[in-house]
Amino acid sequence: MMIPIKTACQISNLTDRTIRDWITDGKIIGGKDDLTGILHVDKESLLKSLPTSICFYNQKGGVGKTTISVMMADYFDKKGVKTLLIDLDQQANLSQSYFDYDDIRGSSTLYNYLEDKTPLAKCIKTYNDNIDVLPADIRLSRKDNYDLDELDSIKADFIPIFRKYQIVIIDCPPSLSAMSKFGLLLSNYVFIPVIPEPYSFDGMFETLNNLKRMTKFCADFIDYRVIITNHEMRKLTLHENYVDMIKNDKKIRSAEQTIPNSVAMKERPLHKSNIFDMYGNDKGVKKLETLLDELYNAIYIERGNK
């Protein structure tokens, strides 16, 4: 979609000059509108040339944050999008979806950056042409007493790194710990997987309240979505009722598509290769793709429409 340069400046925080330079350099698509003569910019190409950071967040564990983080990275990998994955969870499940734990502990991780300022570039491990990972390890449990000012100054070290990527995916731990707050501070988009059943439903409101409180400090926050996950669903009326409650609540911004229950997704950490290469024709994986298309649209197509 072509948008006027003034709107392009607003949604990108770039100056008019920078956008014009990027058009001249062929980095983004732009041209004068035939009728008005006003310079227009292709929104998708503009947004794709900026880093967009996304975190998967929920204070509850076992809702699928790590699993969907990996799926989203696989999705962007297929599209050739340069992606950084950040593991903020001391359990290091995300990191281990890409590297063996011995390999992770044998080199620097996020812990080393926090402990002695080991440069972030040294802690980031390359997985393939599109995917880099900033891994975590169990020692991250010692690093949880930062206040918001300290987290803000840590963020300042991350911002120049983000500029090397189009997408940054952040996997938060299951708590409102300093690392989770840091995940929110870093993010443009927050996606909250929720299992449609009583405890998870109650936890969702707490998570949304914390998000609301935190976003006051998150200058870069744009939007959030609750994403219903089916992976614990056994076709119970109870689940259906909770799906309806979430989807019909006008105060909750929920995704249309849900996360399917899928054995292929469960097995993904074992074979450590792209799910769309391994199981592209699997029914669950196809459903997953429709959800990821929806999130892609929210980020690149709907952003700034209002």
Ligand X SMILES: Nc1ncnc2c1ncn2[C@@H]1O[C@H](COP(=O)(O)OP(=O)(O)O)[C@@H](O)[C@H]1O
Contacts of 157 (CB under 8 A, 6+ apart): 113, 120
The residue whose two tokens read 């009728």 is 35
- Smallest gap from Cβ 171 to Mg ion, in A, equals 6
CA distances from 203 to 63, 104, 159 (A): 11, 32, 31
Q: Among residues 23 and 68, whose Cβ is nearest to ligand X?
A: 68
* Phi, psi angle pair for 53, to nearest 5°: -110, 140
Whether 204 and 194 have beta carbons less than 8 Å apart is answered as yes
Stretch of residues binding Mg ion (CB under 5 A), selected from 92-100, 175-183, 231-239, 246-254: 92-100
- Smallest gap from Cβ 86 to ligand X, in A, equals 14
3-state secondary structure of 249: coil
> Could you say which of 28, 47, 63, 92 contacts ligand X (CB under 6 A)?
63
Whether 259 and 229 have beta carbons less than 8 Å apart is answered as yes
> Which among Mg ion, ligand X, none contacts residue 55 (Cβ within 5 to 8 A by kind)?
none
Whether 33 and 43 have beta carbons less than 8 Å apart is answered as no
> Could you say which of 112, 141, 215, 261 contacts ligand X (CB under 6 A)?
261
Cα(94)–Cα(69) distance, rounded to whole angstroms?
8
- Smallest gap from Cβ 87 to ligand X, in A, equals 10
- Smallest gap from Cβ 81 to ligand X, in A, equals 22
Does 203 sit near ligand X (CB under 6 A)?
no
Identify each DSSP E strand in 215-290 by its residue range: 223-228
Q: Among residues 41 and 259, whose Cβ is nearest to ligand X?
A: 259
> Could you say which of 53, 59, 66, 97 contacts Mg ion (CB under 5 A)?
66
Does 283 sit near ligand X (CB under 6 A)?
no
> Which among ligand X, Mg ion, none contacts residue 265 (Cβ within 5 to 8 A by kind)?
ligand X
Does 262 sit near ligand X (CB under 6 A)?
yes
Q: To 10 degrees, the CA torsion angle through 156, 158, 164, 165?
A: -120
Q: Among residues 141 and 261, whose Cβ is nearest to ligand X?
A: 261
> Which among ligand X, Mg ion, none contacts residue 262 (Cβ within 5 to 8 A by kind)?
ligand X
Q: Is the dihedral of CA 247, 250, 251, 255 positive or negative?
A: positive
Cα(17)–Cα(77) distance, rounded to whole angstroms?
31
**DSSP 8-state class, residue 247:** H
Cα(249)–Cα(272) distance, rounded to whole angstroms?
38
Does 58 sit near Mg ion (CB under 5 A)?
no
Cα(152)–Cα(34) distance, rounded to whole angstroms?
45
The residue whose two tokens read 């390890």 is 137
Rounded to the nearest angstrom, the gap between the alpha carbon of residue 259 and the centroid of all alpha carbons in its chain is 15
- Smallest gap from Cβ 32 to Mg ion, in A, equals 48
Stretch of residues binding ligand X (CB under 6 A), selected from 33-41, 43-51, 61-69, 126-134: 61-69
> Could you say which of 125, 181, 231, 303 contacts ligand X (CB under 6 A)?
231
> Which among Mg ion, ligand X, none contacts residue 231 (Cβ within 5 to 8 A by kind)?
ligand X
Does 57 sit near ligand X (CB under 6 A)?
no
Does 271 sit near ligand X (CB under 6 A)?
no
Residues of this chain that bind ligand X (CB under 6 A): 61-67, 93, 174, 229, 231, 259-262, 265-266
Residues of this chain that bind Mg ion (CB under 5 A): 65-66, 93
